[in-house]
Amino acid sequence: MEPDGPGPGGPAPGGVDPVAARREFARVLGEFRRSAVLVPFDELGSLWTADFGGVRWICAFSDEEALARFAVARGEAGREWPYRTVLGARLLDAMVPLLPGPGGVALDAGSADGRLFPPVAGIVPEGVAVDLGGAR
């Protein structure tokens, strides 16, 4: 009898190898943690955040061009976008825990290269990570 799904480490439906995908995400996360990113401020002087799916996302951008594209997409290219340069690790380890409720970081929101760093253990401090009920 043939197994119903792929064997351990084999591709999942759709041809995605979960082991390779986890390795790639770990590489991207490590790169983000070591990178300085731009974090814009809203009109009140707070970090620019967006609520989506029950999570508060800190919006961060890899460079001024990515922030400018975001501003254009929002129809707000004409306003000044004050920002601060912050290390990705500081956002995840120090700023996310200050958010009310679950929080993560959205890097280059709205772009094809955008990434999400969700509020799960291994990305944010365990004390503010969302419990996924044992899912790995």
DSSP state letters, 101-132: SSEEEEESTTSTT-EEE-SSBTTB-GGGPPP-
Provide the pLDDT for residue 104.
97
Global pTM reads 0.83
* 63, 80, 125, 129 from 134: Cα distances, Å: 36, 44, 17, 13
Provide the pLDDT for residue 12.
58
For the domain made up of 18-128, give the CATH fold. Trna Endonuclease; Chain: A, domain 1 (3.40.1350)
Structure tokens that stand for 85 in this block: 């340069």
Each residue's pLDDT, cut to its tens digit, for the chain (136 residues) gives: 333 444 455 555 667 888 998 999 999 999 999 999 999 998 888 899 999 999 999 999 999 999 999 999 989 989 889 999 999 999 999 999 999 999 999 999 888 989 999 999 999 999 999 976 655 4
Query: Residue 61 in contact with residue 108, Cβ under 8 Å?
Result: yes
Q: Domain boundaries in the chain?
A: 18-128
Provide the pLDDT for residue 36.
98
Provide the pLDDT for residue 108.
96
**Sheet order of strands, 103-107 included:** 49-52, 55-60, 103-107, 115-117
- What is the rounded CA–CA span in Å between residue 42 and residue 44? 5
